[in-house]
Amino acid sequence: MTFRGFCVVLLALLFTPAVTAGETAPAIADHPEVADAVAAWSVWAKNRAAVDGVPGMSVAVVHDQETIYLDAFGEADPDSGREAGPNTLYSICSISKLFTAIGVMQQRDAGALNLDDPLTKYLPWVGELQDAHPDDEPVTLRRVLTHSAGLPRESDSPYWSGPDFDFPTREELRRTLPEQSTLYPSGRYFQYSNLGLSLAGEVVASVSGTTWENYTRNRILDPIGMQDTYTSVAAAHETGRMAAGYSQRRGSPERERLSLFEVEGIAPAAGMVSSAEDLARFASWQLRLLAGGEGVLRASTLREMQRVHWVDPDWETTWGLGFAVFKVGERTVAGHGGGCPGFYTTFRIVPSEQLAVIVLSNAIGADVSLYAARAIEIIAPALDKAREASDPPSERDPEFNRYVGTYDTVWGRFAIVRWKDGLAVVDLDQRDPFDDLPTLKHVEGHTFRRVRSDDESLGEAWRFVVDADGRVLSVTSHSNPAQRVN
Question: The domain spanning residue 462 has which CATH number?
Answer: 2.40.128
Contacts made by residues 80-87, CB under 8 angstroms, sequence distance 24+: 81/1, 83/9, 83/56, 84/55, 84/56, 84/57, 84/58, 84/243, 84/362, 85/58, 85/241, 86/19, 86/58, 86/60, 86/275, 86/276, 86/277, 87/228, 87/241, 87/275, 87/276, 87/277, 87/278
8 A C-beta contact, residue 191 and residue 151: yes
d(CA 466, CA 486): 14
Q: How many other C-beta atoms lie within 10 A of the C-beta of residue 130?
A: 12
C-alpha 164 chain-centroid distance? 26
d(CA 274, CA 360): 9
458 inside domain:
yes
**For the chain, how many structural domains are there in total?**
1
d(CA 27, CA 134): 58
442 inside domain:
yes
Q: What separation, in Å, do the N-terminal and C-terminal C-alpha atoms of the chain show?
A: 20
d(CA 210, CA 201): 11
Can you name the residues that pair with 67 across neighbouring β-strands?
62
Specify the pLDDT at position 368.
97
Domain extent, residue 443, equals: 398-484
d(CA 309, CA 322): 10
Specify the pLDDT at position 7.
41
Specify the pLDDT at position 24.
41
d(CA 136, CA 187): 9
245 inside domain:
no
Torsion (CA) 207, 212, 214, 215 in degrees, nearest 10: 50
d(CA 265, CA 197): 11
Specify the pLDDT at position 455.
83
404 inside domain:
yes
Q: Residues 91-103: pLDDT tens digits?
A: 999 999 999 999 9
- Longest Cα–Cα distance of the chain, Å, equals 83
3-state secondary structure 14-26: CCCCCECCCCCCC
The single-letter DSSP state of residue 118 is B
478 inside domain:
yes
DSSP for 144-206 reads HHTT-S---SS-SS-TTSTTT--PPPHHHHHHHGGG-B-SS-TTTS----HHHHHHHHHHHHH
Phi, psi of 242 (to 5 degrees): -80, 140
174 inside domain:
no
161 inside domain:
no
The single-letter DSSP state of residue 124 is G
DSSP for 337-393 reads EEEETTEEEEEEEEGGGTEEEEEEESBTT--HHHHHHHHHHHHHHHHHHHHH--SPP
d(CA 186, CA 96): 23
Q: How many other C-beta atoms lie within 10 A of the C-beta of residue 125?
A: 13
8 A C-beta contact, residue 3 and residue 49: no
Torsion (CA) 37, 38, 44, 47 in degrees, nearest 10: -160
d(CA 413, CA 405): 11
Q: How many other C-beta atoms lie within 10 A of the C-beta of residue 294?
A: 9
Specify the pLDDT at position 361.
98
Low-confidence residues of the chain, pLDDT below 70? 1-26
Specify the pLDDT at position 453.
85
Specify the pLDDT at position 11.
34
Specify the pLDDT at position 343.
98
d(CA 459, CA 468): 28
182 inside domain:
no
